[in-house]
Structure 1
C-alpha cells in the first residue's frame, strides 16, 4: 500500500507541454438536472503527435449524446502553455486549480445540444502512480459541479460531482493487450472518493499496472496496489461483436491498511470507437468503450468500513496489431 500526499497542481503542469508524447485533459461528472433526470458527462480533449481529438459525450437513460470529433489536424485545438485553456471553436475547458469551466455543444439527432459546467475542487490534487515510468499524471479526486444542459431550446440546471485529470504519455504501448478502469467521484454520502481503479494486462497475461486509489478525508490518497478482477458478465455490443466487453465485474483490492470489495455493473449504452488516434506505430490497433455504471461494495481502511453505493464511470480498452 502507498499513501500519497497532496501535490501542487501549478499552471505550468496544467498547460500544454511541448512534447511528442500524447497529452490530454480529462473530466467526467455525474449530474442530475432540475427535473430529477440523471446525466453523465465525459470529456477528453487530446493532443496527439499526429492528430488531435475532442471527445465529449453525454449519457442519459439509454441515449448516448455524442459530440465527439476525432482525427482533427494538428493545431485544430488551441492550448495555452500556462493553465488549462483548451479551445475547439466555441467549445472549451479553461481555468486553473481549484476552479474550471467547460463548455461543449453540437447536434444530436438534428437537435442542438450544449452543456456548460463550473467545477470547484473540494479536494487537493495528487500525483497519480508516481513510480510509473514514461507518464506524467495528476488528478483531482472530487469537484462540486453546477451548470446547465440545453437541448432543443429547453435549458435545465444541473448539479453533481466530478473528477479531473491531466496526463501526458503513450496511449498505446506494444505488448499491451487490454485495460479496464472505473472512477467514482462521490462513492458515498460521507465524502469517500475513489478516483481510479485501473488494471492493465500484457499480451502474455501478466500485469502491466494495477491500482485502486481512494480518499476518505480528502487529505491523503491511499493506493491499494494489489487488485484482483473477476469478470462476471460480458456482452458483444453492436458493431463490436468481435470483443467481449465486461458488463459486470468484481474488484478485490488489498493494502496494509485494509481492503476493498466492489462490484461494477455497466450500462450497455457506451461511446464505442476504434483507432480514434493515429499512433506513431502504424501497426497499432485499439478499441475503447466509455460509459456510466453503478458500483456497490465496501472499503475497509484503518478499522473503519465505508459503504460504496454510487454512480461511476469507466472504460474498457483493447489493444492489438493490425492484420496484414
Structure 2
C-alpha cells in the first residue's frame, strides 16, 4: 500500500505534447437528468502519430448514443500546448485544473444529440503509477458535474460525478495480451471514491501492472498495489463473438492499511471497437469494450469499514497480432 502525493497540473502537463507517442485526454461521468433518468458519458479525444480519434458516447437505458469519429487525418483535432484546449469542429474540451468544459454533438438514428458538461474538481490531481516506464499519466479522481443534454428539440439539465485523466504513451505495447479497467467516481453517498482500478496481463500470463486507488475523505488517495481479479461471468456480445467479454468479476485488493472486496456487474450495452487507432506496429490487432456497470462491496481501511454501492464505468481490452491469427 502507498499513499499517493498530490501533484500540480501545470499548463504544460495538460496541453499537447510534441512527441511521436500517442496522447489523449479521457473523461467519464455518471449523470442524472431533470426527469430522474440516468445517463453515462464517455469521452476520449486522442492524438496518434498516424491518425486521430474523437471518441464520445452517451449511454441511457439500453441505448448507446455513439458520436464517435475514428481514423481522422493527423491535424484534424486542434490542440493547444497551453492547458486543455482540444477541438473537433464545434466540439471541444477546454479548461485548466480545477475547472473544465466539454461539448459533444452529432446525429444518432436521425436525431440531433448534444451534451455540454461542466466539471469542477473535488480533489487534487495525482500521478498514476509514476514508476511505469513509457507512460505519463495524470488524473483527477473526482469531479462534480453539471450540464445540459439535448435530444431533438428537448433539453434537460444533468448533474453527477466524473473523472478526468491525461496520458501519453503507447496504447498497445508488444507482449501485452489484455487489460481490464473500472472507475467509480462516487462510490457511496459520502466522500468515498474508487477512481481507478486497472490490471494488465502479458502474453505469458504474468502481470504488467495492477492498481486500485481510493479515497475515504476526498483528500488522501490510497493505492492498493496487490489486486486479484476473478472473472465470474463472460458473454459473447453481438458482432464480437470471438471474444469472451467479462460481464461480472470480483476484485480483491490488499495493502498494509486494509483490503477491498468489490464485485462489478457490467451492462451488455457497450461501445465496441476494433483497431480504432493505426498503430505503428502493422501487425497490431486490438479490440475494446467500453460501458457502464454497477459495483458493490466493501473497503476496510485504517480500522473502518466502508460500503461501496454505485454506478461505475469501465473497459476490457484484448490485444493480439495479425500474423498470429
Q: TM-score range by the shorter chain?
A: over 0.9
Q: Distance in 2 between matches of 1:202 and 1:227?
A: 15
Counterpart in the other structure of 1:321 = 321
Q: Distance in 1 between matches of 2:140 and 2:185?
A: 9
Task: Give the SS at the match of 1:162.
Answer: strand
Q: 5+ unaligned residues in a row in structure 1: which ranges? A: none
How far residue 250 of structure 1 moved from its aligned partner, in angstroms, is 0.2
Counterpart in the other structure of 2:215 = 215
Task: Give the SS at the match of 1:70.
Answer: strand
Task: Give the SS at the match of 2:262.
Answer: strand
How far residue 217 of structure 1 moved from its aligned partner, in angstroms, is 1.5
How far residue 190 of structure 1 moved from its aligned partner, in angstroms, is 1.2
Q: TM-score, normalised by structure 2?
A: 0.99
Task: Give the SS at the match of 1:143.
Answer: strand
Counterpart in the other structure of 2:72 = 72
Task: Give the SS at the match of 2:320.
Answer: strand
Aligned alpha-carbon RMSD (Å) = 0.6
Q: 5+ unaligned residues in a row in structure 2: which ranges? A: none
Counterpart in the other structure of 2:3 = 3
Q: How does 1:4-153 map to 2 (within 5 A)?
A: 4-153=4-153
Q: Distance in 2 between matches of 1:57 and 1:227?
A: 29
After superposition, what is the alpha-carbon deviation per residue over 1:244-292, rounded to whole angstroms, capped at 9, x for unaligned? 0000000000000000000000000000000000000000000000000
Q: Distance in 1 between matches of 2:212 and 2:30?
A: 20
After superposition, what is the alpha-carbon deviation per residue over 1:157-181, rounded to whole angstroms, capped at 9, x for unaligned? 0000000000001100011000000
How far residue 149 of structure 1 moved from its aligned partner, in angstroms, is 0.2
Q: TM-score, normalised by structure 1?
A: 0.99
Counterpart in the other structure of 2:245 = 245
Counterpart in the other structure of 1:270 = 270
Q: Distance in 2 between matches of 1:10 and 1:39?
A: 31
Counterpart in the other structure of 1:292 = 292
Q: Distance in 1 between matches of 2:298 and 2:212?
A: 13
Equivalent pairs counted in the alignment come to 324
- Contact kept, 8 Å, 1:5 with 1:219, in 2: the verdict is no
| Off by >3 Å, runs of 4+ in structure 1 | none
